[in-house]
């Protein structure tokens, strides 16, 4: 858990979750009461394959400190191969971020199954800490 919610800086993380795994995993974290820092805001999509670079870039443009995309594990996508596209697009978007001189580590892709509530909580915790150490987005550029 993050030590204490920093008064000075607490990151904003926009999170895209696929309905069948990521979102379900986040729900499972809730049902099991796994605590994680209140840094994320969730947007539900049906499949991680729906995500496109423009949405992620839009979020950074508007000042989010990090973006996380969670889908089903490879091979488990409810729509067979949507997550493979997501993987490819996140890779591409990271390259674009680099060109924009935004640290690509601010974009994170995770595979979370419907039963991996604990993993979801850990990932959010870890990402939040990572972003805290990176500092707010604005300072970099």
Partner 1 sequence: MTNRDQKKVWREKRKMLEKEKNKESIRVGVFVCHCGTNIGGVIDCSALAEYARMLTNVAFSEDNQYTCAETGLTSIKTAIKEKNLNRIVVASCTPRTHEPLFRKCVSDAGINPYLFNFVNIREQCSWVHMDYPDAAFEKAKDLIRMGVAKSIMLQPLEMIKIGVTQEAVVIGGGISGMNTALSLSRQGFKTHLVEKEYILGGRLNSLYKLFPHDTEASELIEDVKTKINNSKNLKVYTEAVVKSVDGYIGNYNIKILQLDRIIDLKVGTIIVAVGASLLIPENLYGYDGKSRITQHELESKLKAEEKISDKIVMIQCAGSRIKERIYCSNVCCMTALKNALIIKDRKPDSNITILFRDIYAPGTYEDYYRRARESGVLFIKYTEDKLPIVEETQVKVFNEYIGEKMILPYNLLVLSTPLIANYDNKELSQMLKVPLEPNNFFLEAHVKLRPVDFATEGIFVCGSAKWPVDVSESIVQGLAAASRASTIISNKNLNFSGSIAEVEESKCNGCGDCRDACVYNAVEMVETRIEFKAIRDSFIPSTALIKHKSKVIPSMCKGCGVCVGICPVGALSLKNFTNEQIGVEIESYLS
Is 95 an interacting residue with respect to partner 1 (CB under 8 A)? Answer: no
13 binds, among partner 1, ligand FES, none (CB under 5 to 8 A by kind): none
Tell which one of 26, 47, 69, 124 touches ligand FES (CB under 6 A): 47
Dihedral over alpha carbons 91, 95, 101, 107 (to 10 degrees): -10
Indicate the residue among 66 and 82 with the shorter CB distance to ligand FES: 82
63 binds, among partner 1, ligand FES, none (CB under 5 to 8 A by kind): partner 1
Indicate the residue among 20 and 37 with the shorter CB distance to ligand FES: 20
Rounded to an integer, what distance in angstroms lies between the CA atom of residue 49 and that of residue 56?
Answer: 13
Helical pair 22-31 and 117-134, crossing angle rounded to 10 deg: 100
Q: Compute the least distance from the CB of residue 91 to ligand FES, in Å.
A: 16
How many Cα neighbours within 13 Å face the side chain of 85? 12
Give residue for tokens 């892709």.
109
Is 85 an interacting residue with respect to ligand FES (CB under 6 A)? Answer: no
Given a contact cutoff of 8 angstroms between Cβ atoms, the answer to whether 57 and 93 are in contact is yes
Given a contact cutoff of 8 angstroms between Cβ atoms, the answer to whether 127 and 15 are in contact is no
72 binds, among partner 1, ligand FES, none (CB under 5 to 8 A by kind): ligand FES
Residue numbers at the binding site for ligand FES (CB under 6 A): 18, 20-21, 47-49, 71-72, 77-79, 82-83
């Amino acid at each position: 858990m993050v030590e204490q919610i920093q008064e000075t800086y607490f990151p904003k993380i926009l999170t895209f979750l696929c309905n069948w795994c990521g979102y379900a995993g986040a729900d499972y974290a809730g049902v099991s009461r796994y605590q994680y820092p209140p840094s994320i805001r969730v947007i539900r999509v049906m499949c991680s394959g729906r995500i496109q670079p423009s949405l992620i870039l839009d979020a950074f443009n508007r000042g989010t400190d990090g973006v996380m995309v969670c889908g089903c594990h490879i091979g488990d996508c409810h729509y067979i191969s949507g997550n493979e596209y997501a993987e490819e697009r996140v890779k591409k978007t990271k390259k674009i971020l680099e060109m924009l001189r935004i640290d690509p580590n601010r974009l994170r892709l995770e595979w979370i199954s419907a039963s991996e509530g604990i993993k979801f909580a850990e990932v959010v915790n870890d990402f939040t800490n990572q972003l805290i150490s990176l500092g707010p987005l604005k300072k970099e550029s």
